Amino acid sequence: MNTVTPEAPRRSVMDRIRESIARWARLACTTRAPYQAAVFRIGLALVIAAFLLREWPHRRVLYGDRSPLSYDMALELGRMNESFSLLSWSGGRAWFEIVYTLTIAAALAVVVGWRTRTMCVVLMVGTMSLENHNPLTGDGGDNIIRIMVIYLVFTRCAQVWSLDARRASRSADATHPASHQDITGVALWVATGLFLSLAFGPTGWPLVLWTLWGVQGVWWAANRWFRETEGRALLDAGASMLHNAAMLTIAVQVCLIYSTAGWNKVQGSRWQEGSALHYALNLEYFAPFPWLSALLAANAVVVVLLTYGTVIVQVAFPFTLGNRKVKNVLLAVMILEHLGISVVLGIPFLSLGMVACDAVFLPTAFLVWCGARCTGMARRALAGRGALPKAAATA
């Protein structure tokens, strides 16, 4: 006996359109690439902190009261560039030391993920204030850092591998009402609001800071009193969409950097004949290890291969994003290239900044594996420390 199975009703075109829109809406409203954002946060903040700490003995000459660019000239240059800098308020040493030290503290706080939303804004303001006060001392690495630190503000980069994520997980597990009180966060929000009211007006760059401050207050109120409402879900979806847009912007910016660099190299005669790296290796300014530069420059085959390889990798990378395996191979090559440049040519902060930007393309499985390995090593190290006194006592 044959059984006739009823045919499934055909979906109309409008039904398929609605399903596609709903699918894309779910993707857009879900936080994507949280591990990549965390690595980007840690790497970029580490680069900024390392740069500022390295230049600590020379900080006043670069950006402070001993700079060859006088305070009046810096103000005029800022007006011409229409740039923003806290250092324009005062030319004294005390104010400069406060801005410089707070920027380092904010960078370290971002690394560990402590009050990341606020600290990212403080890091952005401090970094831009220093860079914009004397842009004549900057290079390509400073431009990349100045751009990326703005994008960092709009990412949800503390959902994993941060003190904020640890505090959020403890709050979610706790049942006591006091666990949802955030005295430190409220005090920090009030302090930043007081600073904004005393220091800024309601227009220009300060308007952006006031907007971020107000959004943070609304977000805290929604988490505190309206956790289960649709408004809270709407805010969460909006934050996820903004995060996804920022991560996409970072990826596009990295592709533009590589594309521009690669195609400009293609037009240069030294890159076309394969000798560009030879001339770079013979510049004393870019030779922290002269013996290493001389060793590489003496081998013509290596110079030609590295010169052509650099151009090929930079030009090809944006076109390989559709193929995961090829993209991962070129990504590993570029990271190794940046690390090599930081050692051979002595420009570590530009190279490490690009490595931090490249992290947005790293595969999630690899990052999860690295995180699990690091967590396991940390737990074994802490367990060993705890076991050492017991073993000593029994001995």
Q: Per-residue pLDDT tens for 107-118?
A: 999 999 999 999
Residue 166 confidence (pLDDT) above 60: yes
Mean pLDDT of the region 380-384 = 76
pLDDT for the residue numbered 23: 61
pLDDT for the residue numbered 179: 46
pTM of the model: 0.86
Assigned token pair, 182: 């955030």
Distance CA 141, CA 350 (A): 4
Burial class (CB in 10 A: 0-12, 13-18, 19+), 77: middle
Residue 9 confidence (pLDDT) above 70: no
Query: Under a CB-based contact definition with an 8 Å cutoff, are residues 40 and 152 in contact?
Result: yes
Mean pLDDT of the region 161-168 = 90
Residue 17 confidence (pLDDT) above 70: no
pLDDT for the residue numbered 383: 78
Residue 21: pLDDT band by 50, 70, 90 thresholds? Answer: low
Lowest mean pLDDT among 79-83, 293-297, 383-387: 383-387
pLDDT for the residue numbered 15: 61
The candidate with the shortest Cα–Cα distance to 40, out of 177, 121, 151, 126, is: 151
Distance CA 79, CA 216 (A): 30
Residue 263 confidence (pLDDT) above 60: yes
pLDDT single digits (tens) 112-136: 999 999 999 999 999 999 998 988 8
Lowest mean pLDDT among 102-111, 141-150, 160-169, 198-207: 198-207
Assigned token pair, 175: 């049942």
Residue 203: pLDDT band by 50, 70, 90 thresholds? Answer: very low
pLDDT single digits (tens) 61-115: 999 888 888 888 988 888 888 888 888 888 889 999 999 999 999 999 999 999 9
Distance CA 152, CA 131 (A): 17
Mean pLDDT of the region 24-37 = 78
Query: Under a CB-based contact definition with an 8 Å cutoff, are residues 37 and 242 in contact?
Result: no
For the chain, how many residues are written? Answer: 395
